[in-house]
A and B are shown apart, each in its own frame.
Chain A
């Protein structure tokens, strides 16, 4: 078996992974970084982020305000010490991207322009028209090409962390092009694989968002934290789930029901004067309540509301949100200059993820780090504010890259080579067997049933019975997954094997989401229960932690870190 060695190993090459790789190179002149990614880095899902990235930039703004907005948005489940670190670094990281060439939109005087975003009390969202994630990702990827010390393993699928005695020293991954399993050894491993929105049927998330890193860490003994908090974005295109950016509301767009009413203004949904600039969880709930009141519009993909941009005018639409116009024209045949866009709530982001500290280090497994959507650090709590995720990738990608280098250079042992290679060889045997697996179950069928169970049980509104049924369904599907059959036994670019492994990861992530949701008997942020409609700080101002065990997940809790800001009623 080929053994490949680097000082630092990255799994994933999107916004967080690339930032971590660059930070590692800048932290030490001789560190070598191996970047294992199941796709070419510029294909990573960061590319689909549209509206912008938050960072304090103006005189009318302050770090204090960005912190307060983020905590309130999180429904006070974010760790306050971590949010302080995040907000302090976010604007510096966005400036760093500017220095690396990111084409931020500009003011006439040449300064970077900022726009309004939901739950942000002032303009602080930096943007590159409405392709912010695309430009950030390409800027990071292109900048990373400067460093010969970043060695990329593009289209390698990581299937197992190599951990011995609670210390992580590598990863087993196979090269899609040849099917060959390789043993990657390093003194620290950073997971930056993104979230797992594909556990749901209707999502903005790309096909690759299958929770791979969450499952890797979970199986290696790290807890998954706050997994029950799944963000529904209020404006997805019916059918495809393609995202229409929140910037369309930040720039002044209105949401309207079938009577043409701005329902956020006409009815009391708690967002008050903020209306379309309210946070995502509240607006998604309002849309569902409009549907239930019979005030939604009916389409082939269920109920929807209108996102009306007509009053912005063609010039502003083309200047500020041209991609919205392109997407609406292409995918629903609507030109927003002349007609409102049909939209509905769509699964967008996982607040939860791999439990980490402020440097990305995972408690319980030494040498393992995580950053970006895969991680729960936690700055997003029960509901992330739009435009905080891109700077999160940068801030915590950088911190974990630097922390991993510090750890690796401060006498981290090489690891028991024979034992680690042995684990990779066992993985090779497992994958060989999988390619020839005979069984009666089909991958696509299990995936569809999983998607349906999650939508039924863990949607915008939740209750005991449907969540319990969801937990049962996921367990049964896990059982049936053991009986899948593989039709393609070839080695070269076998995407059926990739899908089989991704489905295993989806099942792990889905179970953690459902188990966490069922146990949290309160409503907080994106976790809204009809049977427990109030927030309950006495019992649940705590992070949930789901741990892997052979006979089913174990759940416990950890207190939220409160420093200077006491939890208050969340009203806008």
Chain B
């Protein structure tokens, strides 16, 4: 297979040396089956060892390598060079502070994930010796889609609400909280109510649907947010109890 030289413009920011981020251009010989991540690794290995970016599994499941490619949030391990024409522009995810180059600060994202209490809450825990909880395929289907989130944060980069309201708990966290609320084994939705339905919860969402557009795993967080709005409203009015959803 023959390589084709492609031009990349990469946003570089090394805070010890630069006051502002700036684009730098690289000419990279690319194999026809390369993804954008391959080109970044080629730059790192053979052109400029000072480039910093995160990556690990290179198969779209660890969630490390999300960046903006030509302005759109994508996993760079699943974005093929051949699908872009002309110069390819790579930037760190928007709506996050830049640590360096293509690396953004994720602590706030992880805190938001934690804030919805994404674990099974039960009044009485069953002993392991008593075996599994029975859960029908239909009950599993209720929440399965929302359990597919890989925490890549592309939806946070795409969300127009987060651009202006940084405290919004955000699509991935709401989808995850909703996932546990829908799980037949869980009894914790009252404990999640404040994080999900409080000041920075679902009601901040303006339903731009950008999150679902960019989600690489088809989690459809916008649908989770809107389902959560409905159940939250029914709970608030007392039509649905807060505790036993199922």
Contact = CB atoms under 8 A, between A and B. Distances in A.
A47 B183 contact: no
Given A92-B128, A100-B120, A493-B100, A42 B44 contact: no
Contacts of B136: 106, 108-110
B89 interface: no
A495 B44 contact: yes
Given A48-B59, A96-B128, A331-B59, A493 B99 contact: yes
B180 A101 contact: yes
A185 B107 CA distance: 24
B147 to A, nearest CB: 5
Given A39-B64, A242-B59, A493-B99, A95 B132 contact: yes
Interface string A464-496: 000000000000000000000011101111111
Contacts of A100: 119-120
B229 interface: no
A62 interface: no
Contacts of A99: 120, 125-126, 128, 132-133, 185
A394 to B, nearest CB: 12
Interface stretch (B20-28, B49-57, B159-167, B193-201): B49-57
A98 B140 CA distance: 12
A490 B16 contact: yes
Contact of B61 (A107, A131, A494): A131
Contacts of B208: none
B233 interface: no
A300 interface: yes
A207 interface: yes
A429 interface: no
Interface residues of A, number: 59
A27 B59 CA distance: 36
A113 B28 CA distance: 48
B110 interface: yes
Contacts of B117: 145-146
Nearest to B126: A99
A48 B62 contact: yes
A110 to B, nearest CB: 3
Interface stretch (A134-142, A158-166, A345-353, A362-370): A134-142
B78 to A, nearest CB: 6
Interface of A: 39-40, 42-45, 47-48, 92, 95-96, 98-101, 103-112, 131, 134-135, 138, 142-143, 145-146, 154, 177, 206-208, 239-240, 242-243, 300, 326-327, 330-331, 443-444, 486-488, 490-496
Given A99-B120, A146-B119, A207-B57, 12 more contacts: A40-B110, A92-B129, A103-B147, A106-B136, A109-B136, A145-B118, A240-B58, A444-B44, A490-B16, A491-B16, A492-B14, A494-B52
